Amino acid sequence: MEKRFQVFVSSTFKDLEIERQEVMHALLELDCIPAGMEIFPAANESQWNLIKKVIDDCDYYILILAGRYGSISPEGMSYTEMEYRYALSTNKPIIAFIHRDPGKIIADKTEPSMEGKAKLANFQTLVEKKLCKYWDTPQELGSVVSRSLVQLIKANPAVGWVRATELADRDATMELLRLRRKVDELQSELAKARTSAPKGVENLSQGDDPHSLRFTFETLSSKGYFAHNGSFTLTWDEIFAVVAPIMINEASELQVKSTLDATVEEKNIEWLRKKKRFEQCNFRNFSLHEEDFQTIKIQLRALGLIAKSEKSRSVKDSRTYWTLTPYGDEVMTRLRAIRCSQIEGLSDKDIREHEE
């Protein structure tokens, strides 16, 4: 969409006619819309209100200052200075262009009275506190206005104006509003999905519900090598808390299975060692039953905790990878994060032993 900017040009008029023409030409070459109400007689309140409205509608404000202070309002201030101060008060992006050598300006284009010269000097002092550039000739002024305005637009992007034919019609606007509402609804659903379980899982085993797991292991003793079967129980929260951390980014099925096998060994090896029949045995190759492993994957997926990873990978890599869903990430955090009560529950003896 092509955008044009409206620029208010403020200056005295009769002494700067040629300079103003150069500035207007420079603005038009930049596809800007010049505006300047100082060419009209600003002799009453209604005219001043019109000038303020035009300044409000403009995107940028430029001031040209040379040897004249300008016509005086009833308040004793020139309309040029009033325009400048008003633009300042509205935080309009401003740039001023001041004559570099006022002493070279011909007498007819300078202030005749000492009072006028003093007011002009005070006004220039005010202007020089903000962004300003200097010029000598009308041609130089046009050139410096062009370069400076380009920089001002880049530094302070404005709303600008566009052709009415480039604006969306009513049907297009309504469609955009409908799509905007749809996006908001989807974002709301996504946010809800991060903190709540999917629909339809209420009747599935989950959380603190126990689940029996079968496993195999091997022993080696003086009597030889033997394979054994066993079973134990974990809750679904305990199962998920084991595998969730390795899925924060993603994990292959082999990694998930290995993590569960390590948990099988951790949870069972101590009580197996206490059994008389295993007193002189070494243990190895603890492995969760394949059927139970498949059940765990299906159940965690059905609960909305994990999903297949969609990351791109090598054609040669045909393995299946799993990752946490947003909801799964929230549940993992609740299960694995250390709570204050866990720290506060430590006794002085526990703390001393830990420090030692």
- Domains contained in the chain, CATH given: 6-165 (3.40.50.10140), 210-355 (1.10.10.10)
Residue identified by tokens 């134990």 is 232
The residue ranking higher by pLDDT, 280 or 255, is: 255
Assign 347 a pLDDT band (cuts: 50, 70, 90).
Answer: low
Cβ–Cβ under 8 Å, residues 23 and 64 = yes
The pLDDT value given to residue 1: 60
Nearest to 38 by CA among 30, 50, 27, 24: 50
Least confident of 157-166, 210-219, 278-287: 157-166
pLDDT at 44: 55
Measured in whole angstroms, how far is the alpha carbon of residue 171 from the centre of its chain?
Answer: 30
**Token output for 47:** 């005219």
- Model pTM score: 0.49
pLDDT score at 174: 80
User: Which residue would you say has higher pLDDT here, 23 or 177?
Assistant: 23
125 neighbors 98 (Cβ within 8 angstroms) = no
- Rounded to whole angstroms, the Cα distance separating 54 from 92 reads 12
pLDDT digits (tens, 9 = 90+) for 185-225: 888 777 766 667 888 888 999 999 999 999 999 999 888 89
Return the CA Rg of the chain: 40
What is the C-alpha to C-alpha distance for residues 158 and 25, in angstroms, rounded to an integer?
A: 21
Does residue 117 sit in helix, strand or coil? helix
Give the Cα separation of 2 and 166 in Å (integer).
Answer: 8
Are the C-beta atoms of residues 206 and 303 closer than 8 Å to each other?
yes
Residue 311 has pLDDT above 90, yes or no: no
Work out the average pLDDT over 68-84.
91
- pLDDT above 50: residue 328: yes
Cα angle 102-107-109, degrees, rounded to a multiple of 5: 70
